[in-house]
Every structure is written in structure tokens, then in C-alpha cells.
Chains A and B, each alone.
Chain A
Amino acid sequence: MLSKLSTKYALSAVFIAGTAAGIYAQAQAPAARPQRKAPTGQGLLGQAGAADKHIVDADAAERGKKVYIQECITCHGPTARGGQGGSDLVRSLVVLKDRYGSEIGPFLKKGHQTQGSPAAQFSKEKIEDLADFLHLKVGDTLRTSPLFRAQNVLIGDAKAGEAYFKGDGKCTQCHSPEGNLKGIGAKFEPVDLQQRFLFPKPGFGRGGKPTMVTVTPPTGPAVTGTLVQIDDFNVSLRDADGEYRAWSRINGLKVKIDDPYAAHAQLLDRITDKNIHDVTAYLETLK
């Protein structure tokens, strides 16, 4: 482990650690470590682990990265997941049970006994910095990591996508590249384009067209409006005048729902993954 810098690994590690550091606690002086606060906005995953778990300090991890590159990377690899004879450190119980060097420090002081390495001559500060870096690498494998994001989805054939769009996909029944899709490729990342054409229906925070409903009571005229709520027992809508109207679904009441996204739902049963990648590539060209 305690070896010379590997330029190849160093470049990789600089890149990876650099992109990963952002989510963790803002920089604080080392002396303030006991007061570190867990990052917010991680939901349930933020609760994972012990209440007194190690909270990564971004500046300390950056310093620890330099220690890691200098001393560890050759054997344990650029992501600390193991490498040329070195074990996977992000799944090491020494690391997982560590708090600010509490386990890593004593382990290093003993030396790598299985490899016959000498005891590390690290200062307490360097050990703590290295601990921050290794905990950061553990965090990189979590769903809350900034590395947890879509890769390149543009693997399709745009011409084939256009053909599907105008042919079997029947997309032109509602859409045109010169009309309501004009410039769409410049508005969204490719993965978001892909998501939107497959799943355009509101409910995922995007707004969208309202679902319309027509209710026909047995003794009265049909009423059409924007669907408010429907279940097996009741239906309600807001009519063209903005009035709220509601009925119990009894006595022959007829209900007809007009889902503006029905064609997209129907597509899910017949579109292939190749079609999806081709259409994504095509939509991306509409800039």
C-alpha cells in the first residue's frame, strides 16, 4: 500500500474525488470536526448507519485524497475498490467502523501485517484526512452520490428514430418537429427527453394537460370538465365555468375519461428498446 505515486491512477483519482466531493458538508476547520452536520436532503438514506457515523468534511477529504494518491492508490485502485493486490477499502470493516481515524489510524500504525509493510508514519491529521477521503469513497457508491447519474443514452440512429416517429410510433398524430416539438432537443438533456416521451403524464412534477371527464347522469345532460377525483364510488370535476361538480357513481351514472396521454401509455406495450434509443437520438436533433 505504501508506495510511490502512480500517474495513471493519480489522474483518475483526481477526477473522481473532485466530482464526488461536492455533496458533503461544507468546509470546516479540522478543529470543528465533532460538530459536523450530516448533509441534508438525502431522505431515508441520510438515516442509514449509526447516529454517530463519520460525517465527511470536503476539505479534509481533498487533503486525504493527496495522501491516498501518494500512499495507497497503486494497490487499492483509483476508487479504493481494490486493485493490484490491495483489498476493497470501501467495503472494509476497518473503514466502515471508523470515526475520524479511530479504526484506520490504529490499523495503519500496526502496518499491513499480511503484506509485511512497515507501520505508517502518518501524523494524526493525515490519518484523519485519509479517513475523510475513504468515507467519501464509500459515499460514492450510495444512491445519494453525485456520481449516481445517467450516462450517455444517445446510442440510437436518429434517422431510424425519425422513421419510427413518423411511422409505427404514430407520433405525428399529435406532434410535429416544426410545431409543438420545435427546439425540444435544446431544452432537455437526452435522458430527460427519453423520459418525457415515454412517460409524459403529470404526476412526476412536470405539470401537463388535464385529464377530461364527461359525466352523464341518468336524468340529466352530460357534463364535461377537468377531472378532480375519481374512485369506484364517486367522481368530481371542475366544469368550464370553474364550478366544482360531484356525483356518486350509482343509478346508471355514466363516466367517460379522456386521457390526453393515452397514446403514450399504449406505446409502452409495443415500443422496443431500439425504437426508444432511436427516437431519443432523433428528438435530440430537434434543436
Chain B
Amino acid sequence: MSSLDPRINRLDLVKTLEAEDIAQHQHWETYEVFVQAKRGGHHTHVGSLHAADHDMALIFAKEQFARRGQCHNLWVVKTSDVYALDTEDADMFADNNEKKYRNPGGFKVSDKITAYKKAQKQDKTETDD
């Protein structure tokens, strides 16, 4: 490819007309990027990018996803290393009304705890008097 710059073509590299064979992974792979906004916080998935390796993915991620806004640290993970369930199977997650008791908010016992705490508080107020 020719360039507008006059200093181009400094190297007399052998040019071939035929396209080269591309070995597997010679193309850049994609990496998923996770930003940790604050120290100790969760890493949140923010997007993906192309890179030649993990080191390069990190330097790209810094500029693409952590340039604006807060960032304490970054994770990059090869997209091919991410495993996911089939979206066809999303019905596995369907909420079932009869299983409300399994949800944290569904414990009957929480009423008893609330009542107990209330009683304790009352006792304390009476003693203080």
C-alpha cells in the first residue's frame, strides 16, 4: 500500500501478490473487559476489544474503557474463555410462584425475628425508665 508520506518504502520488503495463509489465531482475538471502579468493588463487564494478547488487551482497555470515569483496576478475559448457557434454556430461570419461600424475602421466620426485636426494644425502654 502506498503512503502520502515521502519517507515511506524505506524497507525493500519482498512483496508477493498471493495472499498469505492465515494460521489460526493469527487474527487478533476479542477480549472482554471488566472495570473495577473502586478498590474492593466488583469488576463490572463494560465491553470487548481486539488485541494480540493479554498485555495488549490491558493497555487498550485502559484507554477505551477507563479513560473517562472512575477506575481502580481492570480485568481482561479472552472471549473464548467465557462459558455461557444456551439462551434457549432461559426458562430454567423462570420464577416459580410456589417457590417464594426460597427467596430471601420469603422466610416466614423474618416476621418472628421482627416481633422479637420489637419486644426486646420495649423491654429495654421499660428498664431504662
Are A and B associated in one complex? no
B-binding residues in A (CB < 8 A): none
A-binding residues in B (CB < 8 A): none
